Amino acid sequence: MKYRSAFDIIGPIMIGPSSSHTAGAARIGRMARTLFGRQPKKAVISLYGSFAKTFKGHGTDVAIVGGILDFDTFDLRIPNSLQLAKEAGIEVIFQIEDTVTDHPNTVKIRIEDDKKDLEVVGISIGGGTIEIVELNSFKLRLSGSNPAILVVHNDRAGLISAVTNILAQHEINIGHMEVSRKDKGQMALMAIEVDQRVEDIVIEELKALEHVTQIIGMVE
């Protein structure tokens, strides 16, 4: 694993005893909240591997829920996040899973309200660093450390080129990009991490493309 700085090894400023089990967990929860776009009414949190074995002792439970409440890793409200979620009207359910996963620090978060639902699988890989590896059954790799655009679309020829052309016109450089699809010609997802903030005008141009069904813009 490559580290960009000493802070990737030491870990972030945080509330809690573990950069992997607490800070990383909070970041996964917050990424789920960002992808959902608003505060949910219900969160079903499935814990795997090491997360499942130590989640209360290392504060993984309060960290994930704190992230869903949009708290950063150093937010002093994290230890009280379960009570704060209850006061906010969010139903929280924890499930301990015994399925073997590719990474020991794995969590699946399903959040929903009356209008939509979203399912995210994330892993905490050390030093507070995370990856989102699945979104609504689409496989991807999203670090959350750079601005990103998620393009949900119908799988059609030329659409990837159309998306990247719009980014090039606005001089937005792509750092990492992955494409996955349910099946040939069916629903697909582009996950694009970029080097600079994406302005609203770019998002609107992407939304206007034929066969694009949803755009999720994420800032660092």
Per-residue three-class SS string for 65-112: HHHHCCCCCCCCCHHHHHHHHHHCCCEEEEEECCCCCCCCEEEEEEEE
Residues 161/220/124/60 CA torsion (nearest 10 deg): -140
Q: Render pLDDT for 60-93 as a digit per residue (tens, 0 to 9).
A: 999 999 999 999 988 999 999 999 999 999 999 9
**DSSP structure class, residue 113:** -
Average pLDDT over residues 180-188: 87
Coil/strand/helix, residue 114: coil
User: What pLDDT is recorded for position 141?
Assistant: 87
Residue 54 pLDDT exceeds 50: yes
Does residue 52 or residue 208 have the better pLDDT?
A: 208
Cα–Cα distance for residue pair 194/114, rounded to 1 Å: 32
pLDDT band at 145 (very low <50, low <70, confident <90, very high): confident
How far is the C-alpha of 130 from the C-alpha of 219, rounded, in Å? Answer: 16
pLDDT for 102: 78
- The 8-class DSSP code of residue 143 comes to -
Average of pLDDT values for 168-175?
A: 95
Q: Does the structure show a pLDDT above 60 at 1?
A: no
pLDDT of residue 220: 53
Element housing 200 (H / E): helix 200-207
pTM: 0.80
Residue 128 has pLDDT above 90, yes or no: no
Q: Which of 104, 105, 37 is nearest to 68 (CA)?
A: 37
State the pLDDT at residue 85. 98
**Polymer length in residues for the chain:** 220
For the chain, the average pLDDT equals 87
Select the more confidently predicted residue: 202 or 143.
202
Three-class secondary structure of residue 52 per DSSP = helix
Q: In the chain, what are the domains? A: 6-142 (3.30.1330.90), 148-218 (3.30.70.260)
How is residue 126 annotated by DSSP?
A: E
